[in-house]
Structure 1
Amino acid sequence: MKTFFKSLKFRLLVALCIILFALFYGFGYIVVHTLETSYKASLEASLFTVLKDIKHDFAEDPDKELALDETQDEFDIPVLFSQVVAYDSMSNIPNIIKRSSDLKDQSLPIEPIIVQQIFDNPNEIVFTIRRDPNNPEHKIYMGTIFLAQKEFQMLFLQCALPYDKHTPQIQDIKETLWAGLLTLLFIILGLAYMLISKSLANVLHVTNVAKTLYGETKHSIIPKSHIAYEIDDLIETFNTLLGELQHAYAQVQQFGQNASHELKTPLTIIKGEIDVGLRKERTPKEYVQILEKVGKEVSTLHEIIEKILFLSSTTKNDLKKHFHELYMDEVLLEAIEEKRSLAEQKHIKLTIETLEPQNLRGNASLLKIAIANLIDNAIKYSPHDSTVHISLMAHELSICDEGIGMSADEIEHIFEQFYRTKQSQESTKGSGLGLAIVKNILDLHDVAINVKSTKEKGTCVKILF
């Protein structure tokens, strides 16, 4: 039962039902209220005409007896309650002088408040709703008007018509409105149910298709419905997210495979060296050589693990909170000094051709790591007695070497984790994580990197601020 009430279809239908019922009820209320007001206005107009006519006859001949029943016949009114009242202002006691035959032995009420209102406005008619004197279960619409003043008595004329707010005609209209509007409500809800079911069926189809997809499923998309723009937009958004997830899954999978390979190689070497050392007793010199190889591979492992941890733990938003204004020329000079001893070992010159002041908002330590990695690569893949040309100009830092170079196909993959070109695998030792770290750092700073290279002529890396 709870599932039913949590259903979006049920909630939409209930909301639509409430809104439509409120609108229809409001419309019916306005129609009935308008009819009741019109009916009341017609009664008031009839009473106004009768009262004015009788008063006119009285004004022409005050001594003539008023023919109240003749007035009823004159205006063709089925039921007319009328009476002439003499109100003693000294005793406040009304005296019925004449009454119509419809009143029989009953009388219309003349209350002090009505007398006061007429006293304040003698030329106005006071209209009130009272109980039918012959049938208390029904009401009358009564008008009272001032006729004349005789010594201590005030003469009033009162006429009343039967008044029922819910006349048979109005009651029939109310019943017709209820029947018609409820029928229309059920028809609209039925059509809405079909439309909502059709729309939600497409959403359910998207859900069912999504359930069959997995992270390792390559190039899987949900087909568009071509029925509703909103659903197709949802499907397109989901397909975009799915594509990103599949790409991320492929990267994680590739990262795991490469990481296991890179970590397995030094571990295999370490195990092999230890096994060799344990087969038989060795000389101190041989043990030193074994330990030196093990130490070297441990350093390699340490470097790989540190880089893997850096790539997996850097969070863009957290790091950006600690950004501040820095001078790129100072960061560059520190990175060059850090790598100068490595360059001197290969007799490579680190030449600063241009050094212009450049401000940037970022993290100096991370940018220094990125630039140092690029200089380190330039030194690694350059021959002895060559030059690495470094230039810092407005909005651009370039590091160009005279090394082995790369092909266009290789350039496309150099920023991938653990990727190494065939020549680099043969000529130098590395983990293939340096440029991946560089790319992560530059992306963090919203800085672009461009690489151009020619085989056997060198590589030029440009950082564009």
Structure 2
Amino acid sequence: MNQTTTQAIPVPSIFTKALRTLSLRHRIALYYTITTALLIAIVFTILFFMVESTVYKQFDEEINKEVSEILSDAHATTHDFTSFARFKNFIDDKEVNYGNKDHDDKETAKVDTEFIQLMNNSGQVMNKSVNLSRNVLMFYPGLTTPAYFSSSVLGSTVRQIQLPLLNNQGIIKGYLLVAVPLKNAIIVLHDLQNVFLFSFPGIILILFVLTRLIAGRSIRPIEMVIATAEKMTQENLHQRIGLPRHHDELYRLSATINALLDRMHEAFQREKQFTADASHELKTPLAVIKGTLEVLVRKPREQEHYETRIQFCLKELNRMAQLIDQLLMLARYESNRMDPRIEQVKLSLALERVKGRLQPVALEKEILFKVFGTENAFVAADPSMLEIILENILSNAIKYSPPRSMITITMERKSSSLACSITDQGIGIPEEKLNAIFERFYRVDESRNSGTGGFGLGLSIVKKLADLQQIKVSVTSREKIGTTFTLTFPSA
């Protein structure tokens, strides 16, 4: 026999799932309303019990006055009780007292005045007020101290006291019970309870609606963020979120997201420019090589012509390889995969090695190098990275210097650093373009067919490698006079 079992879904999981589907506005309103509802319920409960306690306290005081009057009229106290006969003339029930049967047993109790009842220590009624009729007040045997409590007479609530009566030896001989009706007080307390019970749901409902409206206005900037993000594409990265009037957390959130969008837009523009420039720089030599080879295969030529064109193609391929190497270097830097190996490097030796590699290019233009400064200057740097920095700066100086000019290299020690300046006598850089020369593929001569043969990556590599080694790079320039690059090394 197959039995099908069904597993009940826990109520908390259903409630949690429902909460997850609520919007932020409704969750804020719900949490705030639940919290406030608990606080209001606690306040209402405390108020009700405070009022009830105050009412009972007033009735207890009234009962004490009644007890004092009874004891005063009977010329008795609670500590020298001798006989119940003392209270005979002061309790309104002479017909009932001491077995008088003339009292109408059918008379009902009157609950709008106070009630008095005397009992012996065994719980037998010795005397009582006529308005009690056949009813008796609540009695708790064995009490040794005055006690206040609520009871009922003929279905109506009364407040009463049970007062022990002691003889002069301190032995309990009887009890005096006095009660006053609570009808009006019960009505007031009941009305107050109804006001609290019926007003509570209304207050909570109004509170939820108001909280939802306030929460909606408060999170409007978040909705604007969502709307802006949903509309964001490559074509409209320039759009920004409107800032709220109040400088609060939502203002900071909107400002932070706007700053993030600024960085994204800037990065996207850089990548877009990088892609365009890189594709152009690679496309140009490929087109040149393709065109040269196509011309060579059209008809037989002399060996010397073949050698010349093949050398030209090899030169273009070397330029492409150099471009790819530089792009890979920048990619490694931006992916944080380059860790410099800092050690003590003799700056003059690094300069000599770089000058030796660039000397043939400089001789072609009859450019001279002059070095001034400390011969034994040591700096803290990565040797290979330092030579790349020096080679890029010196190669730029050679490219943009006129023939038969001079490049000056000056090393100067300062208080806590060493400065190495490289000055050429070239065409110079316009002042408004100085801040852009360290960007990738940026060249002062915007023509892509510039005769310098550079890619616009050298100074970008210089800046990034210098930053890795905490080397400060600065530049000053005057058009048609020359440019000076200064490397400031930290104290070795």
Q: Please, which of 353, 373, 376 is the counterpart of residue 373 of structure 2?
A: 353
Counterpart residue number, 2:312: 293
Q: Distance in 1 between matches of 2:442 and 2:35?
A: 63
Q: Residues 438 and 463 of structure 2 are in contact (CA less than 8 Å); yes or no, is this contact kept in structure 1? A: yes
Q: Distance in 2 between matches of 1:424 and 1:404?
A: 19
Q: What are the superposed Cα offsets for residues 210-238 of structure 1, whole Å, 9 maximum, x if unpaired?
A: 54443344754445565786655544444
**CA shift in 2, pair 1:48/1:153, >3 Å:** closer
**CA shift in 2, pair 1:223/1:41, >3 Å:** closer
**CA shift in 2, pair 1:29/1:21, >3 Å:** same
Secondary structure of 1:58's counterpart equals: coil
TM-score normalized by structure 1?
Answer: 0.77
Counterpart residue number, 2:288: 269
**CA shift in 2, pair 1:416/1:133, >3 Å:** same
**CA shift in 2, pair 1:359/1:19, >3 Å:** farther
Counterpart residue number, 1:413: 436
Q: What are the superposed Cα offsets for residues 174-203 of structure 1, whole Å, 9 maximum, x if unpaired?
A: 222344454444444444444444455565
Q: Distance in 1 between matches of 2:404 and 2:164?
A: 125
Is 1:246 matched with 2:265? yes
Q: Distance in 1 between matches of 2:170 and 2:408?
A: 130
- 1:39-438 mapped onto 2 (5 Å cutoff): 39-56=55-72, 57-59=75-77, 62-63=82-83, 64-67=85-88, 69-70=91-92, 78-87=112-121, 93-101=122-130, 102=132, 104-106=134-136, 108-112=138-142, 114=143, 118=144, 124-129=145-150, 131-132=151-152, 134-135=154-155, 141-148=160-167, 154-161=173-180, 167-180=186-199, 182-201=201-220, 203-205=222-224, 207-217=226-236, 219-224=238-243, 226=245, 233-280=252-299, 287-315=306-334, 322=339, 326-327=343-344, 330=345, 332-333=347-348, 335-345=350-360, 346=362, 348-349=368-369, 351-354=371-374, 365-382=384-401, 383-384=403-404, 386-394=406-414, 395=417, 397-408=419-430, 409-422=432-445, 426=450, 428-438=452-462
TM-score normalized by structure 2?
Answer: 0.74
Is 1:20 matched with 2:36? yes
Q: Residues 346 and 379 of structure 2 are in contact (CA less than 8 Å); yes or no, is this contact kept in structure 1? A: no
Secondary structure of 1:451's counterpart equals: strand
Q: CA deviation at 1:251?
A: 1.5
**CA shift in 2, pair 1:94/1:186, >3 Å:** closer
Q: Aligned Cα RMSD in Å?
A: 4.0
Secondary structure of 1:391's counterpart equals: strand
Q: Distance in 2 between matches of 1:231 and 1:244?
A: 20
Is 1:461 matched with 2:485? yes
Secondary structure of 1:376's counterpart equals: helix
Q: Residues 397 and 407 of structure 2 are in contact (CA less than 8 Å); yes or no, is this contact kept in structure 1? A: no
Q: Distance in 2 between matches of 1:61 and 1:244?
A: 97
Secondary structure of 2:330's counterpart equals: helix
Q: Residues 216 and 246 of structure 1 are in contact (CA less than 8 Å); yes or no, is this contact kept in structure 2? A: no
Q: Distance in 2 between matches of 1:19 and 1:48?
A: 43
Q: Distance in 1 between matches of 2:265 and 2:320?
A: 30
**CA shift in 2, pair 1:144/1:219, >3 Å:** same
Q: Residues 354 and 392 of structure 1 are in contact (CA less than 8 Å); yes or no, is this contact kept in structure 2? A: yes
Q: Residues 475 and 486 of structure 2 are in contact (CA less than 8 Å); yes or no, is this contact kept in structure 1? A: yes
**CA shift in 2, pair 1:194/1:331, >3 Å:** farther
Counterpart residue number, 2:9: none
Aligned residues: 440
Q: Residues 116 and 176 of structure 2 are in contact (CA less than 8 Å); yes or no, is this contact kept in structure 1? A: yes
Q: CA deviation at 1:58?
A: 2.4
Q: Residues 141 and 163 of structure 1 are in contact (CA less than 8 Å); yes or no, is this contact kept in structure 2? A: no
Relative to structure 2, which stretch is displaced further, 282-291 or 371-380?
Answer: 282-291
Q: Distance in 2 between matches of 1:453 and 1:152?
A: 117
Q: Residues 26 and 212 of structure 2 are in contact (CA less than 8 Å); yes or no, is this contact kept in structure 1? A: no
**CA shift in 2, pair 1:368/1:86, >3 Å:** farther
Give, as a single letter, the amino acid of the residue that structure 1 aligns with 2:196: L
**CA shift in 2, pair 1:324/1:416, >3 Å:** closer
Q: CA deviation at 1:14?
A: 1.3
Q: Distance in 2 between matches of 1:358 and 1:389?
A: 16
Q: Which structure features the higher share of helix residues?
A: 1
Give, as a single letter, the amino acid of the residue that structure 2 aligns with 1:8: L
Q: Distance in 2 between matches of 1:229 and 1:108?
A: 65
Is 1:32 matched with 2:62? no
Q: Distance in 2 between matches of 1:97 and 1:150?
A: 22
Q: Distance in 2 between matches of 1:153 and 1:225?
A: 79
Q: CA deviation at 1:263?
A: 0.5
Q: What are the superposed Cα offsets for residues 229-258 of structure 1, whole Å, 9 maximum, x if unpaired?
A: 665554444433333322222221111111
Segments of 5+ residues of structure 2 without an aligned counterpart are 1-16, 94-109
Q: CA deviation at 1:460?
A: 0.6
Secondary structure of 1:132's counterpart equals: strand
Counterpart residue number, 2:476: 452
**CA shift in 2, pair 1:443/1:181, >3 Å:** farther
Relative to structure 2, which stretch is displaced further, 391-400 or 431-440?
Answer: 391-400
Q: Residues 125 and 143 of structure 1 are in contact (CA less than 8 Å); yes or no, is this contact kept in structure 2? A: yes
Secondary structure of 1:404's counterpart equals: coil
Segments of 5+ residues of structure 1 without an aligned counterpart are 88-92, 119-123
Secondary structure of 1:389's counterpart equals: strand
